[in-house]
Structure 1
Amino acid sequence: MDYLYTILPTECADDIRQLEKYLAGIGAASEITEWKGHKFGAVFSAETVKYACAEWQVKDGDIIIATYPRSGTNWVKECIRQLLYGQDEKLDKISGSMPMPLRYIESGPVCSFKLMDSIPLPRRIFLTHLPANLLNLDAWLQKDIRIINVIRNPKDQAVSWYHFSQHFPYAEIVPKDWNQWLENYMAGIIPSNMKDNEFYPDNILTWFPYWKHPKVMSIVYEDMLADTTGHVKELANFIGTEASDNVIENVVANSSHSKMKSDLHEKEDPDSKLFQKMELIRKGGVGGWKNYFTVAQSEGMDEIMENKLAQTGIKFIYE
């Protein structure tokens, strides 16, 4: 956090201290807040979401990566960050040092938005797990922004979310037993920015209508795993940045699962330490769900996805 004092104007000092206070208590955050029937747990805040929707303004050039939790958020973010700033040592350091509240739209105190407005970066990268209906998208898309919506097969997503959510302070609704956890998850009990009885497919349904918008790009996590180089080239074209074959090759290498995990564990700041503990970068890959789901559970997930997403034509890749 000391680094922020060196790159932000002096008038931001009070806001930085407020952010430091927030980060000091983030590991113990346990309050579930609510807005418009949507519930936000742990590090996310209804007050912040309300401000983002009602008052915050995006800027031309902003990039927003929208996903449901554990669907490739940080991987795609790192690809974008490397494309924009990987060739510039100063901007690479600044963009790589953003604590969580300066990355996630729904995280941190409201002053995080003021700080991001002052960050000396030509283009900003934001992340969100919010459903599209909670964001002021129609107004935002009037600006020259880009939105990337990533989806992952719901079984591998569920396993990754199970492990990550074990660090949440809600033992009564986030059980350690996989069978009970999955039942709670598919019943929409585990807080994930959705309403009661809603979970992953309901989030997808809010974003799907925007997939054909020229400023929105949809990505399938498993397709990107199968052809990372091709997808990084598509991302470069989509955000409007030129990238040579050598740059693309470096981006693919520097955003690999092993490199990202290694980089995270080399950091000593409180934000990174928390995410080391929570296994922010876990395993990735496709097909690990087979070690967790019973046949009945797999069929149950299939049925829910087919019923809820029938009109979208979405077909997930499970292996």
Structure 2
Amino acid sequence: MAAEHLVWRELTAEEKHILEVGHDDSNRNMKDQICFEKQRMIIPRTYLKFMDDMYNFPVKKDDIWIVTYPKCGTTWMQETVSMLINNVDQEYGKLPQIFRSPFLDIDTLMDGNEKGEGLQVPEDTPDFMKKMMEEFSKGVIPFARKMSGRRVLKSHMSFDFLPPNLEDKCKVVYVARQPKDCIVSFYHHSINMPLHGYQQSLSTFAEEMMKGVVLFGDYWKHLESGWKLRNHPNVKFIWFEDMKKDSKKVIEELSVFLEHPLSEEKVDQLVHHVSFDVMKLNKTANPSAMMKLPEEKNFMRKGQVGDWKNYFSGPELEKIDNWIEENKKRTGIQLPE
């Protein structure tokens, strides 16, 4: 079944210029992107190769999909959910998260770049894991289709791009984050991750994000796709800020939502396991280890609420606040305090 409702267009001259000057030549996909106008989704042209495979992905009733705009707590939620449904089994947790919870969109970002250059397996990796990496490198969607047991799948695509009626077929966890912290985190991610190659200032990135001319497109359009489904019985809408405020409460709610009860002891173990400082040092949960990133470019940077206060002020902050207020009124979305 073709995803005929997904109609794309070429970028405008202005949009092309923004991407051209904004990225170095480390990944040509970042400069060659297209736009799905209705969804305001900007994505590398290579997505067209995988669009139908994503839309027609065979969903199982016990699947768990984690859907987010970038830098909204995705990795944190992947670790939380994958360990929760496996009873916080530490042996299971030694398997790299990319295998426990594959990122379905990654082939779009890495197409034309050897996966071995972006995700590297340490020399002391067990043979079975090397074999998994070999299968993974052939294509993440085929890898995910073959997974046994209860699958935890991740995507940064909004709901229009995912299997139709996904929320009626399985469980979906949508994670959202306050826009100002999202801008700051996404900027540092785009600067530090070799697959992005961003080379402009935070102020420029903020302007581009307000225009929606960044990878994965318009923040508000994506957030709105999750917000509209927040009351669906198979969708758990969670704010990053609530996870930071009381991770134990969120884990207990997830346990009920996913119909996988945990003992009080296991809940406490999971709270500790997914605490930021513990996760940052966990080489199987923090992608930095497999990407061989230096400490100053750690995939997990701060994980804070309110970090934007260290970056935005004056007229720039006023402009961002106006952007937020306009979109809150337009969409009816209620941001956390």
TM-score by length of 1: 0.77
Match of 1:129 among 142, 151, 156: 156
Shift in alpha-carbon separation, 1:40–1:286, aligned structure 2, 3 A: same
CA contact (8 A) 2:247 2:271 kept: yes
Shift in alpha-carbon separation, 1:67–1:237, aligned structure 2, 3 A: same
The aligned residue for residue 307 of structure 1 is: 326
The aligned residue for residue 155 of structure 1 is: 180
| Separation in 1, partners of 2:267, 2:90 | 17
The aligned residue for residue 304 of structure 2 is: 285
| Separation in 2, partners of 1:75, 1:247 | 17
Residue 179 of structure 1: how far off its partner (Å): 1.8
Moved more, 107-116 or 222-231: 107-116
Task: Specify the SS of the correspondent of 1:210.
Answer: coil
Task: Specify the SS of the correspondent of 1:213.
Answer: coil
Question: Please, which runs of 5 or more residues in structure 2 have no aligned partner?
Answer: 1-24, 112-137
Residue type at the aligned position of 1:124: R
* 1:116 and 2:140 matched: no
Shift in alpha-carbon separation, 1:269–1:217, aligned structure 2, 3 A: closer
The aligned residue for residue 171 of structure 2 is: 146
Residue 275 of structure 1: how far off its partner (Å): 9.2
| Separation in 1, partners of 2:229, 2:296 | 35
| Separation in 2, partners of 1:236, 1:87 | 12
Task: Specify the SS of the correspondent of 2:153.
Answer: strand
Residue type at the aligned position of 2:152: I
CA contact (8 A) 2:54 2:162 kept: yes
The aligned residue for residue 19 of structure 1 is: none
The aligned residue for residue 297 of structure 1 is: 316
| Separation in 1, partners of 2:97, 2:66 | 18
Shift in alpha-carbon separation, 1:97–1:305, aligned structure 2, 3 A: closer
CA contact (8 A) 1:35 1:46 kept: no
CA contact (8 A) 2:97 2:285 kept: no
Moved more, 181-190 or 266-275: 266-275
| Separation in 1, partners of 2:175, 2:294 | 21
Give percent identity, aligned residues only.
Answer: 24
| Separation in 2, partners of 1:169, 1:277 | 16
Q: How does 1:170-189 map to 2 (within 5 A)?
A: 174-189=198-213
The aligned residue for residue 219 of structure 2 is: 200
Moved more, 111-120 or 247-256: 111-120
Q: How does 1:1-319 map to 2 (within 5 A)?
A: 28-31=26-29, 32-34=32-34, 36-37=36-37, 38-41=41-44, 45-53=47-55, 55-88=56-89, 91-94=92-95, 96-99=96-99, 103-108=102-107, 111-120=139-148, 122-138=149-165, 140-143=166-169, 145-167=170-192, 174-190=198-214, 192-194=215-217, 199-264=218-283, 271-273=290-292, 278-310=297-329, 312-317=331-336
CA contact (8 A) 1:35 1:50 kept: no
Residue type at the aligned position of 2:216: N
Residue 133 of structure 1: how far off its partner (Å): 1.8
Shift in alpha-carbon separation, 1:47–1:225, aligned structure 2, 3 A: same
Task: Specify the SS of the correspondent of 2:260.
Answer: coil
Shift in alpha-carbon separation, 1:264–1:30, aligned structure 2, 3 A: farther
Task: Specify the SS of the correspondent of 2:224.
Answer: helix
Residue type at the aligned position of 1:78: E
Residue 128 of structure 1: how far off its partner (Å): 1.3
CA contact (8 A) 2:83 2:89 kept: no
Deviations along 1:74-110, one digit per CA (max 9) or x if unpaired, are: 111111111112444554344x35359x611212278
Moved more, 219-228 or 275-284: 275-284
| Separation in 2, partners of 1:266, 1:106 | 18
Q: How many residues align?
A: 278
Question: Please, which runs of 5 or more residues in structure 1 have no aligned partner?
Answer: 1-26
| Separation in 2, partners of 1:79, 1:170 | 26
TM-score by length of 2: 0.73
Shift in alpha-carbon separation, 1:245–1:222, aligned structure 2, 3 A: same
